[in-house]
Structures are given as C-alpha cells and as structure tokens.
Amino acid sequence: MSLKTQLLSAQCSTDLTQAAELLKAGEQVAVPTETVYGLAADASNPDAVAGIFTAKGRPANHPLIVHLGDVASITEWATQIPDEAYKLANAFWPGPMTLLLPRAEHVSPVVTGGLDTIGLRVPAQPVLLDLLASHQLAVAAPSANPYKKLSPTTAEQVMHGLGGKIAAVIDGGPCQHGLESTIVDLTKRPFRVLRAGPITASELSTVLGETVDAPEQHDTVVPGNVGSHYQPNTRLQMVAADLSDLPAPHPEKRAALLHFGEAPTRDDLVCIAMPDDAARYGQALYHQLAQADQLGVDEIWLAQPPHGEAWLAVHDRLRRAVS
C-alpha cells in the first residue's frame, strides 16, 4: 500500500498542529531530532507503534526509544528509577542521551520488543520538544531509515527511504549531531554505555562521580545492535588516512572518496572532503555517505578517521557500515 507522504514544515504552526493530529490519530510521522530523523508514533498506542515496524521492515523484537517532553515524565514509563538517572537527566537532557531503565508495568511489549527495560530520552530539537510538551505526547521513534540502511539526517533522505510508507515528514533542516544518541544502561552496575554517541562515557562519569563503562565494541546482546547496519547500497571500504593504500585506477570503474586534507587528482574519483573535527565529522558522515551512494559510483572509499574517545561513535557506526 502506498500513502501520499506529506512534507510538513517545522516553521509552520498549522503544519505542526497537523503533525500532532496525525500522531494522536495513530499515524507514523518522521520528526527531526538533534541526532538523526526519527520515525515517530504515539508510544501509548500499540497499533500506532506496530506501524513503525511495518514501515521500516524492522524485526518486531528490536526495542524502540520513547521520546518525552520533560524529565518528570520518566516516572510514567519507567520504574525503580535510581538517583543517577536524575543526575544524568539534569545534566544532559534535553539532549542526545538515552537512559535504559526498568519499564513501567503498563508499557506495551510492542514498544520494548518484549524486554523488561525501556530506553527513554528528552530530545533537544526545539520544534519536536515543543510538540511533545505542548500536546503531552510521548513518541516511540527509531531512526527513520528502512531497516539496516543509513540513518537520515535530512527530511529529503527520509522521503527517499520511507516516502509512500508513512503519513508525513516534518522538515526541520539538517540534524545537529548527525549520529544517534548515546545509550546508557542504568539497570545494572557498573553502569555502561551500550551505544557510543555524542555524549562520551567520560562526560557521564564526571557527572556521576563514578566510572561508566564504555566497551570498545557495540554490545551485540541488544537486539537491534546487529553487525551489519547503517549500510549504504554501494560497497564501502576503508582506506588508510594518508591514502597510501588507495586502489589503482580501474579503466571502467569510478569511486567516491571521503578523505581528509588535499584531494588526490584522479579522474576516476569523486572526492568529498571530510571535517577533521570529530563532532563535525559525525554530523557529516551519514549525509556524505548518502550523497556518495546516490552518485552511482562502483565503490565508496573512506579514509580511516583518527582514534580516541571523541571518535568512538564514528568508529562504531563505520565498523558496521563497511561491506
């Protein structure tokens, strides 16, 4: 079944009223967040949430993050909330941090993929935050991409992936961070980061005054943290940062190269310069991979980014994006 997906503007109040009406009526609406675009549905309506899985082609046991309009609402969705949750919420919300807590009894298993825990966050994108707060809405929202594909950081990319499958997209411009939120598991000690994101384990540890673990590898026990994910359609390969191992030109093939510094002069390459600062690189990554994907090249080559804590989220996503 194909829907006419409406493109709504985050700047237009009648468009936003319409988005709220669609959500309350059980429709799926893609929304801008400060991390990536999310595919939202009313978290208190299991049928509406089920529609997210259908639109994305996502397996039903992959849990969703519930987005709230304020910190106080966490008591409606979680239980046995430790003091540390409030310390982190007060420091980083609204913002790109998801807290994993024991779920409240009434929460539908459709939202949590049948788990006893729930991921919660208060997003910092002002239009979305206002929409949630002023309509007392809580929305379940995974990234607004078809299953396993690149997460969208513009409304145009959402349309490209999910147009015809959802009721509407709110265009709020490009996302500020460009990578998904940091997920922190507060259900077990020691607390730990399950998915690296814009807020680092050091920043979390500083606020709590205790060490928050940050495994190098993404935790694969979590459904949804699958090995192949975030993939462009074009084959993606990593090359050395200094491009010393760049494959030789091929007479019939063209590649896109995401590089640092000076672009090599080669006719077979479309060169895309990447920022050398971790935050700006993260913001550009999915967008530039999506752009490269649409060039119709045979391969995408990406220069290895630097290491260090600030780059963990980038490396986490790249590990699973490379072919």
User: Which residues form the interface with ligand TXA (CB under 6 A)?
Assistant: 33, 35-36, 38, 62-65, 96, 98, 100, 112, 115, 117-119, 141-143, 180-181, 183, 222-225
CB-CB contact of 199 with 97 (8 Å): yes
In whole angstroms, the minimum distance from the beta carbon of 316 to Mg ion comes to 12
The structure tokens 């752009």 sit at 291
CB-CB contact of 300 with 293 (8 Å): yes
User: Is the Cβ of residue 225 or residue 304 nearer to ligand TXA in the bound state?
Assistant: 225
User: Is the Cβ of residue 82 or residue 223 nearer to ligand TXA in the bound state?
Assistant: 223
User: Is the Cβ of residue 82 or residue 303 nearer to ligand TXA in the bound state?
Assistant: 82
- C-alpha to C-alpha distances, 296 to 5, 231, 234, 276, nearest whole angstrom: 26, 15, 8, 26
In whole angstroms, the minimum distance from the beta carbon of 134 to ligand TXA comes to 19
- C-alpha to C-alpha distances, 28 to 22, 142, 147, 151, nearest whole angstrom: 7, 11, 16, 17
Select from ligand TXA, Mg ion, none the partner in contact with residue 65, using the beta carbon and a kind-dependent cut-off of 5 to 8 Å.
ligand TXA
The residue whose Cβ lies closest to Mg ion is 143
In whole angstroms, the minimum distance from the beta carbon of 59 to ligand TXA comes to 10
In one letter, which amino acid is 205? S
User: Is the Cβ of residue 112 or residue 157 nearer to ligand TXA in the bound state?
Assistant: 112
Contacts of residue 101, Cβ cutoff 8 Å, sequence gap at least 6: 74, 77, 78, 79, 80, 81, 85, 117, 118, 120, 186, 187
In whole angstroms, the minimum distance from the beta carbon of 117 to ligand TXA comes to 4
97 forms beta bridges with 182
CB-CB contact of 313 with 197 (8 Å): yes
Select from Mg ion, ligand TXA, none the partner in contact with residue 314, using the beta carbon and a kind-dependent cut-off of 5 to 8 Å.
none
195 phi and psi angles, rounded to 5 deg: -140, 120
**Token pair recorded at residue 103:** 């779920």
In whole angstroms, the minimum distance from the beta carbon of 36 to ligand TXA comes to 5
Select from ligand TXA, Mg ion, none the partner in contact with residue 282, using the beta carbon and a kind-dependent cut-off of 5 to 8 Å.
none
Residue ranges that bind Mg ion, judged by CB under 5 A: 143
Select from ligand TXA, Mg ion, none the partner in contact with residue 117, using the beta carbon and a kind-dependent cut-off of 5 to 8 Å.
ligand TXA
User: Is the Cβ of residue 146 or residue 163 nearer to ligand TXA in the bound state?
Assistant: 146
Q: What is the rounded distance in angstroms from the CA atom of residue 130 to the CA atom of residue 214?
A: 32
Select from Mg ion, ligand TXA, none the partner in contact with residue 138, using the beta carbon and a kind-dependent cut-off of 5 to 8 Å.
none
Select from Mg ion, ligand TXA, none the partner in contact with residue 289, using the beta carbon and a kind-dependent cut-off of 5 to 8 Å.
none
In whole angstroms, the minimum distance from the beta carbon of 221 to ligand TXA comes to 9
In whole angstroms, the minimum distance from the beta carbon of 211 to ligand TXA comes to 21
170 forms beta bridges with 8
Contacts of residue 289, Cβ cutoff 8 Å, sequence gap at least 6: 150, 232, 236, 258, 300, 321
Select from Mg ion, ligand TXA, none the partner in contact with residue 100, using the beta carbon and a kind-dependent cut-off of 5 to 8 Å.
ligand TXA
